[in-house]
Amino acid sequence: MEHTLSPLQQEVLNKYKQLSLDLKALDETIKQLNHSQHRQQHDQQITVSPDEILQEMREIEVKIGLVGTLLKGSVYSLILQRKQEQEALNRSDR
């Protein structure tokens, strides 16, 4: 019995495959960071818990969200400004 996938099903499977690969790469990067950080801190006898790292990542996430919000606001403001300038030009041409 042969099963064929619809293009949408194949696309979803490909997205899951890519997500899996990305998560594995992220896991490997975190392991490398923890290992290198552990070696550096081993010399100084300081340890950083995963909870502290997670808290720092959350703080970075909040800052990135704030930057994104500011960027969206700036783009919206620029669009409105250009629209108003265009309307002013249209009125002056009449």
- Classify residue 93 by burial, with Cβ atoms within 10 Å: 0-12, 13-18, 19+: exposed
Of 89, 68, 70, 66, the residue nearest 78 (C-alpha):
70
* pTM tops 0.75: no
Task: Specify the pLDDT at position 84.
Answer: 94
In this prediction, residue 33 has a pLDDT band, given cuts at 50, 70 and 90, of confident
Of 49, 45, 22, 13, the residue nearest 34 (C-alpha):
49
The Cα–Cα gap between 52 and 76 comes to 36
Q: Are 34 and 40 in contact (CB under 8 A)?
A: no
pLDDT, tens digit (0-9, with 9 covering 90-100), for 36-88: 765 555 555 566 778 888 888 899 999 999 999 999 999 999 999 999 999 99
